[in-house]
């Protein structure tokens, strides 16, 4: 099979198409003939040598989400059969013509979605569900602030939270992204380059603050997040792009009875991820199937153009997801 490999840590140009053996699937896995693979920021980190693969996962092939057709099934797999169209959250090696996935981490592709659209779903939707709704406990009628509102995570969070009964605020870096996010369902988009999100959230919520913040920025955003949370609010960290260290007003945390938490998804076990898949299938997949929630794909690249896909990811000029096709 063809696979996109990391020849050495470095710039996007280290991604090269190579021949690799088709992997075998274990008893609890399925082998997927990949039509499309989503591109995510952890792939960029892995390419740079900053995001090692879990034990037992191919280290030089990135990729955490795929869509395609089931090609083979493990001995104990009963839910899926050869020929089923699925998308899946995988533990790595998704940038390839064939990829194995734990059976519980697969989801059927709604009939109204293409392979390209389906490949844009798993990593972001699993992440948003786990962190906003499970860890963050967002409930209907509560409010959510998402930093990076035009990212793949952002466009998923806007739609999911909005359709499940929450007002969503986002921060973005351009007027174009502001307009896009508000058209997608955000109640207000804030340009962090020209406005203070702390002041804008204070105005938008009549001084109450938001109930949940999903933050991938970290660093000096952290105290602003503390100020922007409502009483008994929850700050959920999923990355720290501006740094892992931050100064926090602990008195404000105590006075407002705040919860500061966070998580990383890739190291979690299959049982945990399979439970998220069940929750998505129950709560979100019907909304995808009826068109209430729509995948947002910004750009599609052929496998030989993987370097271009990573250049776009690092530029932050994209709105929504980037997908590689095989």
pLDDT for 207-259, tens place per residue? Answer: 999 999 999 999 999 999 999 999 999 999 999 989 999 999 999 999 999 99
Q: What is the pTM of this model?
A: 0.96
Task: Quote the pLDDT of residue 325.
Answer: 98
The CATH code of the domain that includes 29 is 3.90.180.10
Distances (CA, A) of 46 to 77, 240, 291: 30, 16, 34
Q: Are residues 132 and 238 in the same domain?
A: yes
Q: Are residues 239 and 164 in the same domain?
A: yes
Distances (CA, A) of 84 to 109, 119, 196, 238, 277: 9, 15, 48, 32, 17
Whether residue 306 has pLDDT greater than 90:
yes
- Count of domains forming the chain: 2
β-pairing, 2-6 with 15-19? antiparallel
% of the chain exceeding 90 in pLDDT: 96
Q: Are residues 154 and 184 in the same domain?
A: yes
Q: How far apart are CA 269 and CA 271, in angstroms?
A: 6
Whether residue 56 has pLDDT greater than 90:
no
Q: Are residues 138 and 258 in the same domain?
A: yes
Q: Are residues 11 and 39 in the same domain?
A: yes
Whether residue 52 has pLDDT greater than 90:
no
Q: Are residues 108 and 134 in the same domain?
A: no
Tell the residue number behind the tokens 């088709």, with chain if given: 22
% of the chain exceeding 70 in pLDDT: 100
Judged by average pLDDT, the poorest of 121-125, 184-188, 246-250 is: 246-250
Whether residue 304 has pLDDT greater than 90:
yes
Q: How far apart are CA 86 and CA 139, in angstroms?
A: 29
Final residue of a domain: which of 219, 234, 262? Answer: 262
Q: Are residues 60 and 103 in the same domain?
A: yes
Q: Are residues 247 and 275 in the same domain?
A: no
In the DSSP assignment, the letter for residue 165 is T
Final residue of a domain: which of 223, 243, 262? Answer: 262
Q: Are residues 174 and 226 in the same domain?
A: yes
Taking the alpha carbons of 142, 298, 119, 294 in that order, is the dihedral positive or negative?
positive
Q: Are residues 183 and 294 in the same domain?
A: no
Q: Where are the alpha helices (DSSP H) in the chain?
A: 41-47, 115-119, 122-128, 152-163, 175-184, 197-204, 221-228, 250-256, 270-283, 285-289, 306-315
Q: Are residues 113 and 183 in the same domain?
A: no
The CATH code of the domain that includes 210 is 3.40.50.720
Radius of gyration of the chain (CA): 19
Q: Are residues 242 and 270 in the same domain?
A: no
Final residue of a domain: which of 262, 287, 315? Answer: 262
Domain that residue 115 falls in: 2-121+266-325
Q: Is residue 201 within 8 Å of 145, Cβ to Cβ?
A: yes
């Amino acid at each position: 099979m063809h696979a996109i490999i990391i020849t050495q840590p470095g710039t996007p140009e280290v991604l090269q198409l190579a021949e690799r053996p088709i992997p075998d699937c274990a008893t609890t896995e399925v082998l997927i003939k990949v039509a499309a693979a989503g591109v995510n920021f952890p792939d960029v980190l892995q390419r740079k040598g900053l995001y090692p693969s879990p034990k037992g996962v191919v280290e030089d092939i990135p990729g955490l989400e795929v869509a395609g057709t089931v090609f083979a099934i493990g001995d104990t797999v009963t839910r899926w059969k050869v020929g089923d169209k699925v998308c899946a959250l995988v533990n790595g090696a998704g940038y390839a013509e064939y990829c194995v996935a734990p059976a519980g981490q697969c989801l059927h592709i709604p009939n109204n979605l293409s392979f390209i659209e389906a490949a844009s779903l798993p990593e972001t939707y699993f992440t948003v569900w786990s962190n906003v709704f499970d860890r963050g406990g967002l409930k209907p009628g509560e409010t959510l602030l998402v930093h990076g509102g035009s990212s793949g995570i952002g466009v998923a969070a806007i739609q999911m939270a909005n359709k499940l009964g929450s007002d969503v605020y986002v921060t973005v870096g351009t007027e174009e992204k502001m307009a896009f996010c508000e058209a997608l369902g955000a109640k207000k988009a804030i340009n962090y380059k020209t406005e203070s999100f702390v002041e804008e959230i204070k105005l938008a919520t009549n001084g109450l603050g938001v109930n949940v913040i999903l933050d991938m920025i970290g660093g000096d955003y952290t105290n602003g997040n503390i100020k922007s949370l409502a009483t008994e609010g929850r700050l959920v960290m999923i990355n720290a792009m501006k740094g892992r260290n931050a100064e926090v007003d602990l008195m404000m945390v105590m006075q407002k009875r705040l919860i500061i938490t966070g998580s990383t998804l890739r190291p979690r076990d299959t049982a945990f991820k399979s439970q998220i898949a069940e929750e998505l299938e129950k709560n979100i997949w019907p909304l995808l199937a009826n068109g209430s929630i729509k995948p947002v794909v910004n750009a599609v690249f052929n496998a030989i153009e993987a370097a271009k896909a990573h250049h776009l990811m690092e530029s932050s000029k994209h709105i929504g997801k980037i997908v590689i096709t095989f």
